[in-house]
Structure formats: structure tokens, C-alpha cells
Chains A and B, each alone.
Chain A
Amino acid sequence: MVILGEVRTSLLHNSLPLPRDAVADLLSLRPGRQVTATDRPINRTVSPETVIGVDCAIASEPRVRARGIGTVAAHAVVVGGLVAQASARVRLEWTADRERKPWAHYARRRGVVEVLGGVTAEQVLAGYHRPGRQADTMDLGAVCQRLLTQVQGRPQLDHRTGLRTRPTSLRWTAVAREDERPSVRLHIDDEVQRTLQVVVPPDLLGEAARFCEDLALHDWLYTALGNVVGQAERDMAIGADPMGVLNAALSLLVRLWMPGAHVDLALRPLWQELETTPGFTESWDRQVAWMRDQVSMRTLSALQEARH
């Protein structure tokens, strides 16, 4: 069994973190359907699921003609009233059909795409992870982007930018294998694009999406903090004041760092794997310490100057 997914992560377009009730309102994208929220250790609110019908080619490597029919499932997530994510995924099921069935058949199976044609799971996985999307194939990124744009345009937001950050995108696949320990491989494709391959036992396949969203969140935080440090260094090099960007990042981003907090216990070992290599939390902590040092040194010297 195979799941393909993508998560796009960006800063919510609001000057301050949004209170939990406002987040619930923000993510009530479909009338009559409830959002789901957890508050501990930090608020995480998920919009109702939307499904989008697809009937399109599926990327593969080497390229084989393959058609996918079914629905993409997508939802939006807001963490800490501050970070917005859009997450789209499909579970692939191979079928011997040669024709499309009546839509009612696919509509009943939310988030399932049936694969027609002689393509293998390995070919689809390789096609999905190859750099640069094959033209005119199923595009989960576009689904994510539309959802994210919808959320970011909602009237609950003041549309003021508290901190300039870059959105990131994480493309993931999860494969179910019996009798295998869960494992994870993260690849940093470029500054904003990542690919992730997850292997889990079949009973945990449903939890994979949540893990990938959590990883995407932390990868985005990590990237954003790195860019803030870069901007601060650039400011310092030309004698400009880095305090604005440092303070904004410290007050907004730092308290969101909680790898694995929202992940099923059975999948937390995947985080431990990533903590060993490439090692997230340790270098996150070092960056935060550097930023705090800069802020306190500058505050101190400003105080001393004021006294003289």
C-alpha cells in the first residue's frame, strides 16, 4: 500500500498569533462541518477534510502510461495560531479496470485514487520523488497551494506580515511493509523543497500524514530561523539594526518547537532517527541561543550608552 502526499507550510498572514477560537473560525471552511482541535502541548487545529476529484496521468520513473481516478483528500492545519499548513494526500490502489466507473464509486472512497495501467508501485514512487514534476500529471502541490491561498485570504486575518518567511513544501510517500521497523528518509532538494520517504507497518499507515505534517512544520521553523539568522548577519555586516527581525523571530517562532508532540507514540521513533542525523533540536537550540545572545548584548550596550 502506498500513500503520496504533500504539505505546504507558511506563516499565517497576521501580525500576531490568532486566538484559538479565531483559528477555529478561520478553518471552518465548510459550513456545518466542525474543525478538530487539540490544545496540548500547543494548539493545533485542523479544518474539515475536503475532497477533490481527479482523473489524470500519474508520474512514474521510468515513464509508463498510468492513469489515476479518484479523489484527493486535503485539509488545512494551523499550529499555535501562527503557522498555516495545507496537506493533501492520496492512497493508491491498483485496479484491473480499463475504464472509468461511475463517479459514485470513487466519491465513496475519500482520498483513494485507483491506478489503471501497467505501472508498478516502485515506478510511481520514483516518479513522485524525481526532481521537477512531470508536466500534466497529478499535482498535489497545486491542491495545497489553492487551499493555503484560501486560508491566507480569510477575513479573520489582518494580513499584516509580522516576519518575512519563505513557504516550504514537503513531498512525501508512505509505504506499508509488514514486519519492518518504521523508517524515514528526508532529502533537502533545495532551499524550499523537501522530499520524505516513510516506511511503516500497515496498521500505522493512517498515522503517516500526521507525522509528515509535524516534520514539515519543524523543517519550516528550522528554515525560517536560519533565514532570520542570515538576515540578522547581513544587517550587522552593514551596520543596520538586526533587533527587529531577531525579536520578531524569538517571540513568534521559538515556542512552537516541539518535535513529535502531535505524533502517534508508535511513530515517535522516526523523530529520534532524524534527531540523530541530521540532528534538528540540537542545532535549533544553538541558533536560538545565538539570537538571544545578540539581543541581550545589544540591550546591555544600549543601556550602558543611555547611562553615559
Chain B
Amino acid sequence: MLVFASSDKGGTGRSVTSCNIAFHLAQRDDVAYLDFDFGSPTAGAIFDIPRAERGIERDGLHTYFTDGITDPRHLDVWHATDRADLRGANVRAGRLSFYPGEMGGAEFAISDTATTRCAELLTRLDQEYSVCVVDLSAGRSTALEMVLAATAQPMMRAITTRWLVFHRWTRQHIVAAHGLVYGERGIVEIGASAGHDPEALRDAIRFVRIAVPNLKEHNPGQTAAQATWLFTYDEELRKLAVDKRLGKSRVLGMTPVEPVLQYREQLISDSDVSTKIANHATVEAFRELAARLSDDAVWEGM
């Protein structure tokens, strides 16, 4: 299964959330994480791999697409990470392989060669890993266009492909996420012109709401007026989401606001929860996202 992580805006939580999803999937399956955010590869920092913090120096994914190398480098996260609590946390975990981008990499011009190479790489890795998570950059990027073209090729038709669109729980983010999927030069439109069946493509897209405040939580510092406003406005956002076709049936899940992630981009492990540093609800949200991602029932046609 291939999972493409996209978002209209930068800073939505796409990378952090998809890294955490990959981490949970890898507890029982072999998982690859590919950093296609060529302009700002950050996944190395999220996995706590110092030597790939802002991408690696050579032979990464960028060079694979631009320079014709056949084997982009990859790192075994369990071995390469600095976090001892991830290493050996689960003796039966699957592999978690990280394919980093490159320092000083940038977006490159999309070409037939790059698209073919993309299809070849994704097909090859899909044969090897149960799940490949691909972090695309924000907006209508080269990476997005390239994978839409690649996945439309006959060679890739048989591969299960799922799309995630990450957005924050605000008015602008909802409108922007709508635009990225349904709008002009959006995923569905670009996909259709690349040869995808637009309906099937739409059915393979789910939204993920990031850092959604929990209004039910008791908050002693809050005035009655504030609480009422928040409830009313939250309800309005819900309506807007339904109008914009980001409603419940198209949502894979949500993540709560996590203080740790407000300070540091990282994986949230069970030990972060048991030391009471991170919230239990956050790990549960990531776990649920991972479970629903691989649950076929969730992805049946609308």
C-alpha cells in the first residue's frame, strides 16, 4: 500500500503526523518512509536521526530523481535514531526504513524521466514493504504532480494507493484543503488529466484534522462568553467542513493539540506518555490513524 501525505499549507503537521503514523504501522509491518519534500526535508529530525537532520549530503532521493543513481540511500530508523526508547521498544516490530531527502535539495522540473523513475521506485518499494508513506511537500508541488502522473501508469494500477490531506482546524485551513483536493489544479483535476479516474481518486482521499482543540475539557481559566463562542464557532467549522466536502465520512481522523509537539517535532512513544510528558490521547490518535489507514472498510467507496 502506498500512502501519500499532502497538505495545502506548510506547517500543518503533515510531516510530524505522517512520521508518527509510520511509526505505529511499523510496530507490526515493514514500513518505508520517503521524504519527497525536496525543498525542506525535515523527517530526519522528527525521527531523531542527527546525521539526516536536514537531509543527507549525497545519494538521497533528490539525486535519485535528478542524477540517475539506482539505489537512493535509506536508514533503518530503529538503529539510526538517537532515541533509546524507540530502539528495541518492540522486539517484534517490523522494519522502519527512512529514505531521506538531501541538504540543499530543491524542487526540480518534472519530466517524463522523473515520472518513470518515480513509478519504478514506488513499485519496487511496494513489493518490499507493506506500507510506503510518502511525504509530499505543501501545495501543488512537483512531488505531488509527479506522483499523480506516476500512479496513473499501467504498471502501478494494481497497487493500493491512499491519499491523506492534512489541515488545521481553522476556517482558512478548511477552505485551503478543499481547494487542494477539489479546486482548480487540485489533486482530482491534475490526477484526471494524468489518466486517473476522478471518482476513484476522490474516493481514495481522506482528510486528517490536526491539533484540534478539545472543547469538552474543563478549562478553569475560561470565561462563559469564551466557552460559548468556541462552541458556536466549532459548530460553524463543522458545517463549513461538510459544505466543503471534508465532512465526517471523508475524515480519517484527527489529532488533539499536543504540547510536546508545540515545542518539538518528534515521535510520541509510549514512554513519553508513561512519564506523563505527552498526552495519552495523542498517542491514541496516532494509533487510530494508523489502524484506520490500513482498514479497508474505512476506504470503501462513498
A149 to B113 alpha-carbon distance, docked (Å): 14
Q: Is B235 an interface residue (CB 8 A)?
A: no
Given A10-B127, A149-B124 in contact, is the A234-B94 Cβ separation under 8 Å?
yes
Q: List the one stretch of A162-170, A195-203, A270-278 in contact with chain B.
A: A162-170
Structural contact, B94 and A159, CB atoms closer than 8 A: no
- Per-residue CB contact flags for chain B residues 81-104 toward chain A (1 = under 8 Å, else 0) read 000000000001010000000000
Structural contact, B70 and A152, CB atoms closer than 8 A: no
A145 to B69 alpha-carbon distance, docked (Å): 10
Q: Is B120 an interface residue (CB 8 A)?
A: yes
A141 to B71 alpha-carbon distance, docked (Å): 9
Q: Is B40 an interface residue (CB 8 A)?
A: no
Q: List 23 A-B contacts (CB under 8 A).
A: A11-B127, A13-B127, A141-B70, A141-B71, A142-B70, A149-B70, A149-B120, A152-B123, A158-B158, A159-B155, A159-B156, A159-B157, A161-B126, A161-B127, A164-B127, A164-B128, A164-B130, A165-B127, A165-B128, A167-B124, A167-B128, A237-B92, A238-B28
Residues of A within 8 Å of B157, CB to CB, are 159
Structural contact, A145 and B126, CB atoms closer than 8 A: no
In the complex, what residue of chain B is closest to A149 when comparing beta carbons?
Answer: B120
Which of these, B28, B154, B158, contacts A234 with CB under 8 Å?
B28
A11 to B128 alpha-carbon distance, docked (Å): 10
Structural contact, B30 and A164, CB atoms closer than 8 A: yes
- Per-residue CB contact flags for chain B residues 143-165 toward chain A (1 = under 8 Å, else 0) read 00000000000111111000000
Which of these, B71, B123, B126, contacts A142 with CB under 8 Å?
B71
In chain B, positions 36-69 with a C-beta closer than 8 Å to chain A are 69
In the complex, what residue of chain B is closest to A163 when comparing beta carbons?
Answer: B127
CB distance from A221 to the nearest CB of B (A): 16
- Per-residue CB contact flags for chain B residues 110-148 toward chain A (1 = under 8 Å, else 0) read 000000000010011011111000000000000000000
A171 to B92 alpha-carbon distance, docked (Å): 30
Query: With contacts A145-B70, A145-B71 known, what are 14 further pairs, Cβ within 8 A?
Result: A10-B127, A141-B71, A149-B120, A153-B120, A153-B155, A155-B154, A159-B156, A160-B158, A164-B30, A164-B130, A233-B92, A237-B92, A238-B92, A240-B28
Residues of B within 8 Å of A130, CB to CB, are none
Chain B contact residues, CB within 8 Å of chain A: 28, 30, 69-71, 92, 94, 120, 123-124, 126-130, 154-159
A166 to B32 alpha-carbon distance, docked (Å): 12
Residues of B within 8 Å of A11, CB to CB, are 127
A10 to B120 alpha-carbon distance, docked (Å): 14
Q: How large is the interface on A (under 10, 10 to 19, 20 to 34, 35 or more residues)?
A: 20 to 34
A160 to B130 alpha-carbon distance, docked (Å): 13
The total number of A-B Cβ pairs within 8 Å is: 50
Structural contact, B71 and A13, CB atoms closer than 8 A: no
A234 to B128 alpha-carbon distance, docked (Å): 17
Most buried by A among B70, B120, B129, B156: B70
Q: Is A146 an interface residue (CB 8 A)?
A: yes
A235 to B71 alpha-carbon distance, docked (Å): 30
Residues of A within 8 Å of B130, CB to CB, are 164
A182 to B178 alpha-carbon distance, docked (Å): 68
A235 to B142 alpha-carbon distance, docked (Å): 38
In the complex, what residue of chain B is closest to A153 when comparing beta carbons?
Answer: B155
CB distance from A47 to the nearest CB of B (A): 18
In the complex, what residue of chain A is closest to B70 when comparing beta carbons?
Answer: A145
A146 to B92 alpha-carbon distance, docked (Å): 34
Given A13-B123, A159-B157, A237-B92 in contact, is the A164-B71 Cβ separation under 8 Å?
no
A238 to B90 alpha-carbon distance, docked (Å): 12
In the complex, what residue of chain B is closest to A238 when comparing beta carbons?
Answer: B28
- Per-residue CB contact flags for chain A residues 43-74 toward chain B (1 = under 8 Å, else 0) read 00000000000000000000000000000000
A238 to B157 alpha-carbon distance, docked (Å): 31
In chain A, positions 196-246 with a C-beta closer than 8 Å to chain B are 233-235, 237-238, 240
CB distance from B53 to the nearest CB of A (A): 21
Closest 3 CB pairs of A and B: A145-B70, A142-B70, A160-B158
A113 to B123 alpha-carbon distance, docked (Å): 33
